[in-house]
Structure 1
Amino acid sequence: MDVSGDAGSGGPLKNAILIAGPTASGKSALALRHARETGGTVVNADSMQVYSVLRALTARPDDQDLATAPHRLYGHVDPREPYSTGRWMREVADLIRAGAFADAPAIFVGGTGLYFRALLEGLSRMPDVPADIREKWRSSLVCEGPAALHAKLAASDSEAAAAIRPSDGQRIVRALEVLDASGKPISHWQKAAGEPLVDRGSARLLVIEPDRKLLADRIGLRFDRMLDAGALDEARALARLGVGAEMPAMKAIGVRELLATDRGELSLDAAMDLAKTATRQYAKRQSTWFRNQLGSGWQRIAME
């Protein structure tokens, strides 16, 4: 799989702007400000905002935002499809090769840390996995659950198992299917570095470090707005599509809680409280990752 990001013969993308930060920290507003100042194109770097159904629940840009500046890689993936960092990188590379950023900078914005790391460091080249092998392990995940598959992975690739939580079904399946398809553990492929898509030397690297209390308050208010914007209808739409519980789209915060309300298992107020708590916990994990994984080249900025 080649995700080298060679823009024609120009190499890695120059003068990109990367904006990372936890959910609800104001990343999108900052990206729009840079887009207005530079004429640049905003590119999604959030693994949940790629899904077509989840506009309100993932706080995708609204119509006014889309009218302000060009936006790419938002809401273009069917939630029944698997999606990965590798696929995202291929799509970014396609945009670069097509000249999407020839006249103005790319502004990458989101909360998925691995996307930013892949942009700047490259992504390991993985073997192609035949459809039958992919389907075998995805079916096994549904039938057996992630813990059982994690045990199988531990027996065949202890290094990968040690690095993956027993509840992380998607990563467990990925490790098993790579091993099955190639005969080599995923760690073997991960050690072969890929090519970066973004030139670090000319890039502007920004990470938002919010005040925890202010962020918690903002998360609560934002989920209220999500509900007003149709979040419950989006959760119902996912259920009608028959999206498997193991698929990433079903793990979007709020989906499980709101569907429990729809089944009469939770009151709406209880579901909202649970979703807000889960979002705050997720934001804390994101902040920790950015603090520990993004190096000194990143400019730390306060939330406005």
Structure 2
Amino acid sequence: MRSAGHLGGRNSTGGTSAVRALLIAGPTASGKSALALDVARRRNGVVINADSMQVYRDLRILTARPTKEEEAAAPHRLYGHVDGAVNHSVARWLADATAVLSEVEAEGRLPIFCGGTGLYFKALTDGLSDIPAVPDDVRAAVRAACEGRETPELHARLAACDPASAARLRPSDRLRVMRALEVHAATGRSIAAFWDTRAPGPLSGDGVEKVFLAPDRAEIRARIDARFLAMMEAGTLDEVAALAARRLDPMLPVMRAHGVPGLIAALEGRMSLAEAIAKGQADTRAYAKRQVTWFRNSMPGWRWVEAREARDWVTP
């Protein structure tokens, strides 16, 4: 793997490169947050969350949000600012992120976007499709019709009314299949028609450093398993119990965070705690694999760095 060089180093003509923003992505447990904090402290930066689960205030431990001590060491934004009852979306995140980006730039600080949600980074650089908002009553009707039905059945229903988007979605991707059904119900149009039209993102163009931390596969699997056990010791079962007590819609993103379904099942006696832990670890490992595959296939132009080399990449 080629060396990543240094942030803000010298370019090929000998001049100093100007960095407008730094994007740090990678699979879960790859060391993104530690690197972002290191850069923020060295470069007068602000760490801005780009992880779809770390936006929720209900799950600080289970989603590995920065600790209070880490947040005190450098400014952090868009962490834990959304209630679990909210069906947060990439569009809402992009609106928040764009506002924060303007504030950070006005302060003369370096914006450091850090996370593992590929669609958030893609929205930053490539923009979002202009999909109309789905009225609440339409969304509720679609969800009621989908309740109790297996995801492949919903995908087949989507294929019948919107074959173009069904062909581009995995039959197991329940959230996006339901989103496509909602958009079709609200507009009568395929969501794929909106995907293909988008305005540039707020960080399109030059001056953006993009790095993907790519740890060894065996190493990341071991880290994930160990971290999940550490989370259990830190009190994540109590955290999930408090979330379960809210009786939220099980289709909400926060209720589908890796570890939540299994731990709720354990709390309700439908699964042993050991089984729930193993499920949480396995689901997280599978997610990390998908993150790597998605970035490799969907995000050209990113610099891939071995996690252990990342600190050398930061200018002292």
TM-score normalized with structure 2 length: 0.86
Question: Whole-Å Cα distance in 2 between the matches of residues 299 and 164 of structure 1?
Answer: 27
**2:66 matched residue in structure 1:** 61
Q: Deviations over 1:7-29 (max 9, x none)?
A: xxxxxxx7110001000000000
Counting only pairs closer than 5 Å after superposition, residues 64-143 of structure 1 correspond to structure 2 as 64-97=69-102, 99-102=103-106, 103-143=108-148
Q: Answer whether contact 1:160 1:175 (CA < 8 A) is retained.
A: yes
Q: Answer whether contact 2:51 2:116 (CA < 8 A) is retained.
A: yes
Moved more, 210-219 or 169-178: 169-178
Q: Answer whether contact 1:257 1:275 (CA < 8 A) is retained.
A: yes
Secondary structure, in 3 states, of the residue corresponding to 1:207? strand
Q: CA deviation at 1:145?
A: 4.8
Letter of the 2:238 partner, please give it. Answer: D
Task: Could you tell me which runs of 5 or more consecutive residues in structure 1 were left unpaired when the two chains were aligned.
Answer: 1-13
Secondary structure, in 3 states, of the residue corresponding to 1:17? strand
Letter of the 1:256 partner, please give it. Answer: P
Change (3 A) 1:188 1:34: same
Out of 268, 275, 286, the residue aligned to residue 273 of structure 2 is: 268
Letter of the 1:205 partner, please give it. Answer: K
Q: Answer whether contact 1:141 1:169 (CA < 8 A) is retained.
A: no
**1:280 matched residue in structure 2:** 285
Q: CA deviation at 1:169?
A: 2.6
Question: Whole-Å Cα distance in 1 between the matches of residues 50 and 200 of structure 2?
Answer: 18
Q: CA deviation at 1:293?
A: 2.1
Secondary structure, in 3 states, of the residue corresponding to 2:245? helix
**2:302 matched residue in structure 1:** 298
**1:10 matched residue in structure 2:** none
Question: Whole-Å Cα distance in 1 between the matches of residues 84 and 214 of structure 2?
Answer: 30
Q: Answer whether contact 1:44 1:50 (CA < 8 A) is retained.
A: yes
Q: Deviations over 1:45-95 (max 9, x none)?
A: 111111111111110111111101111111111222211111111111222
> Does residue 258 of structure 1 match 2:266?
no
Task: Could you tell me which runs of 5 or more consecutive residues in structure 2 were left unpaired when the two chains were aligned.
Answer: 1-18, 309-316
**1:211 matched residue in structure 2:** 216
Q: CA RMSD in A?
A: 1.6
Secondary structure, in 3 states, of the residue corresponding to 1:201? coil
Question: Whole-Å Cα distance in 1 between the matches of residues 200 and 234 of structure 2?
Answer: 40
Deviant stretches of 4+, over 6 Å: none
Q: CA deviation at 1:246?
A: 1.4
TM-score normalized with structure 1 length: 0.90
Letter of the 1:46 partner, please give it. Answer: D
Counting aligned pairs with the same residue, the percent is 46
> Does residue 20 of structure 1 match 2:59?
no
Moved more, 165-174 or 51-60: 165-174
Letter of the 1:29 partner, please give it. Answer: A
Secondary structure, in 3 states, of the residue corresponding to 1:206? strand
Question: Whole-Å Cα distance in 2 between the matches of residues 144 and 266 of structure 1?
Answer: 22
> Does residue 238 of structure 1 match 2:243?
yes
Letter of the 1:101 partner, please give it. Answer: E
Q: CA deviation at 1:249?
A: 1.1
Out of 206, 219, 228, the residue aligned to residue 223 of structure 1 is: 228
Q: How many residues align?
A: 289
Secondary structure, in 3 states, of the residue corresponding to 1:282? helix
Question: Whole-Å Cα distance in 2 between the matches of residues 96 and 200 of structure 1?
Answer: 15
